[in-house]
Amino acid sequence: MHFLLVFDADNTLWDTNSVFHEAHVAMLEVFEAAKFLSDARRQVERVRLIDRALIQHFGRFEYGFENLATAVAYHYRYQADPAAAAAYALERGAQALDTLMREAIELAYQTHANALEQIPPLFPGVDDLLGHLCTYRAANPHIATLIFSEGHPKRLQRTIDAYNIERHGYVNEIVIELKTTQAFERVRIVGRKYLDIPDGDEVVTIMIGDSMQRDIRLANEAGFTTIYIPGSFEGRQEPQTALEQPDFEIARIAELPAVLASLGLYLP
């Protein structure tokens, strides 16, 4: 039996949520200095609501964050609800606002962008697991490992470089692409080329991720075995459809070897 392990990156291997949280705080502090709001650190959930409205519009988690800065400023200055603030930013943008607001929005956007350059911490056990899989993989051609992410390539590359993931060969390949069912099917093809597979041998293709919509549902549609790890960004989600039901759920990456053993992959 052969195994292909596919890891999501953000909020599965490393804590991207903590970086975005601090970036949102930094943005809010600019608007606090401009007298649009008070107690910036307590306002992050408001930003998250606006962010979710923009994510829904763009169909991805990262988009032009000028839209977020504009929507947040409009929300606080005019007491607009989050959906209306997001709609304003998309339809009209900052150019329709007064000079004070435009200047604050530009500074808030740049401050947010600078904060996003921080390297997110790895979750406990990730470094050891990737290193162990790398060593095991070198002597066992029946296993391959990939990272599959739809995050911003430059941001991801900073993290990948910081932890020497490519230099140390922790995974066979890193795929950065918008997640769709078809993309998961392509990832399976990419991963299989690293396996020495005799005709007729079975390949167990496993997706490990924190999003029931972006990881579990799409991977299930592509015929993967799915392992769900709740993350801090979206919290623990409940499946809304049968396709969002993971095959396994674990609380932390340290529990992964036990699940793999139940599937027939025993890591020494």
Structural domains of the chain sorted by starting position, each given as residue range(s) with its CATH number in brackets:
2-15+120-262 (3.40.50.1000), 16-115 (no CATH)
**Rounded Cα–Cα distance for residues 167 and 195 (Å):** 21
What average pLDDT does this structure show over 208-232?
95
For residue 223, is pLDDT > 70? yes
> Which residues are paired to 249 by β-bridges?
228
The helix/strand/coil state of 226 is: strand
pLDDT in tens, 168-198: 999 999 999 999 999 999 999 999 999 987 7
Give the pLDDT confidence score for residue 199 in this predicted structure: 65
Give the pLDDT confidence score for residue 61 in this predicted structure: 87
Give the pLDDT confidence score for residue 200 in this predicted structure: 64
**Rounded Cα–Cα distance for residues 100 and 89 (Å):** 16
**Rounded Cα–Cα distance for residues 125 and 110 (Å):** 34
What average pLDDT does this structure show over 202-222?
96
> Which residues are paired to 248 by β-bridges?
227
Token pair, residue 66, equals 């000028």
DSSP state of 87: H
**Rounded Cα–Cα distance for residues 119 and 185 (Å):** 30
For residue 147, is pLDDT > 70? yes
Backbone angles phi, psi at 169, to 5 degrees: 65, 35
pLDDT in tens, 71-106: 999 999 999 999 999 999 999 998 889 999 999 999
- Count of Cβ atoms closer than 10 Å to residue 74 Cβ: 25
Percent of the chain with pLDDT over 70: 99
- Tell me the angle at which helices 66-78 and 82-91 cross, rounded to the nearest 10 degrees: 130
CA 172 to chain centre: 20
Q: Give residue 1's pLDDT band: very low, low, confident or very high (50, 70, 90).
A: confident
For residue 268, is pLDDT > 90? no
Give the pLDDT confidence score for residue 50 in this predicted structure: 97
First to last CA, the chain: 17
| Rounded-to-10 torsion of CA 250, 147, 161, 168 | 90
User: Could you give the maximum distance between any two Cα atoms of the chain, in Å?
Assistant: 68
Q: Tell me the C-alpha to C-alpha distance, in Å, between residue 165 and each of 122, 134, 144, 162.
A: 12, 10, 15, 8
pLDDT in tens, 233-253: 777 889 899 999 999 999 999
pLDDT in tens, 21-48: 999 999 999 999 999 999 999 999 999 9
